[in-house]
Structure 1
Amino acid sequence: MEDQLNRLARWSKVMISLEELSAIFYKKDQTYEELAARILELENEQILQPVKAAGQTMRTPSIAHRYRIDKSKIQDDFYGQLHRYNEQFHPAIRLDRYYSLTADIFSGDLPFIKQIHTYLTNYGLPKDAVPAPERSVELVGDEKWIDESGGRALLERIALWDLMKIIPVSDPLMMAFNVQSVHNPGQFHLIVENKTTYQALLPVLPETVFSTLIYGCGNKIVKSIEQFDWQYPIGTANHTFYYFGDVDRSGLTIWHLLNGKRTVLPAIPFYEACLCKEPFQGETNQRRDIEAVQRFVAAMPSAKSIQTLLDGGFYYPQEIVKSAELGKIWRDWSWNLINGKG
């Protein structure tokens, strides 16, 4: 029944014919009387309103040949359903997000939410952190559910992600430490996209105010950044992250996705060093991520010409800045004054 209402809510038109309704409510060996009873039930709920001009069937009970769908009534029914489940489920499960989503999303999530409710009722909130596959098995009996089948998004929708003590399964962060600054209350971390840049900057790390140098390994950093708090458990410090990648569509997209995980600022002095040089030509087949470019330019106003540069097929690889220049920039720049820090 819920699936049928969801299909009515998603119906692209206001009007629906009896034949189309029959297809939505079809069940094997269903009789006309059973179909008519269901349609008349929706008539009584004013979800379906008969179009009188279209006429009625000659059979008993008689139903209209055409109906108008009142989708607001379906929404009201959905809100009532959410309220009822809110009262039934474990108090840690929050359904508030679904009031701004469609009923079919909730319908798809509901079987998993019921399993999570059973787990919480039997065991309560977990006390120990475990890897995502282990928690997946405990919750829904599928070790891939959290990482590969939308489980994390669902747990975030019901406000349980942070409470379930899940260790993300991703590649570990590859990073070097500056032992002189790991105990500072305010700590800086530089993430670089490519291995060549990482190797060039590594010898300079002890001469900077940075606590770590992190090798992003391309887009792997978007997942591996989840490991930072586990690998670098200095929770009392105020962490500030900077990113330096290729000035191309792929590089800006990596920064944009990473910035969606936790605040990561463009490493402006490095990017400005790139933009002072002659760009390379040839990168025309990368996916256009307009939002990533717009967000990058907003974070680094001096890069406002980047959109034109990329549209023309030009780009800057990180390696365009030589090792000696990279080291001097990192060693000399007053990083703690960037963006009002320090």
Structure 2
Amino acid sequence: MTTETSPTVEIVEVAPRDGLQNEQVHVSTAVKAELVRQALAAGLRRMEVTSFVNPQRVPQMADAEALMQDVRTYPGLTAIGLAMNRRGFDRAVAAGCDEVNMVVVASESLSRRNQGMATADSIAIIREVAAAAREVGTPISVTIAASFGCPFEGEVPEGRVLAILEEVLPLAPLEIAFADTIGCGVPSQVGSLVRQARALAPGMRLRCHFHNTRNTGLANVAAAVEAGARTIDASLGGTGGCPFAPGATGNVATEDVAWMLHRMGISTGVDLEEAVETAKWLSDALGKPMAGGVAKAGLFPKEAALGGCVAVA
């Protein structure tokens, strides 16, 4: 069990959005709603449910409003909608999202491919959205994508990411997330960026989003948490990928992240047995193998299934 000094890390479940957006086979609204329901049963309360983007560019998200209609009354759910512009924000608010996650891409090349605009233009849109968010009372978070590298430009300097952070801080977002969009980050980068961000914004909630493209995802989670991040994005079964970033594969698996953190003495509130069963169900629904390790290998020790922590001597 946790001690009084043990930190708590919140896992934001992103399988319904980031986990499914790159699937080539159509996923029905009913399957997505069932995924949200099962994730809630596993203790995952805060969820990126869908994205309000152009359905011609991301067809899997064409049912955003219909899905929100199905899940918005689920008890205990904090539903996050992702948006790229003011229209997307307005749609998310109208659909009943509790939060809206806005995205700015740290590299110019990926920004133009992913959002069709320069990084500076994205920041200008977020400024406009932040003002609208205050008026309607819907909080926004800001994700800085490609924080650790770009598929077209290579290295993304830490200073550039921190400069973007400084530009969005005055907008008072609920949270700022650093995303390793293509899974190229390593623990030393992650630890450095999170520590620098905490120094620049000591009161800001920091979140990290990792893809496991090069098998550094879990190590990066550990580095982020040790550096002070207290929210981690993850996807049941390790599903996911970015349609506009060549070679990007799945997110870190929720069940793997929760298992590791529990073994480190850190509480997440996730019921591991339920999470593993949901990962298996999602694998069957998608007709593809799971990317995570815990669901394949099984829980160790069995006490980890209780959703708390294993005491480590």
**Interval of TM-score (by shorter of Structure 1 and Structure 2):** under 0.3
Flag the structure with higher helix content: 1
Larger of the two Rg values belongs to structure:
1
What's the TM-score, normalizing by structure 1?
A: 0.26
Task: Please report the TM-score for the alignment, with normalisation by the length of structure 2.
Answer: 0.28
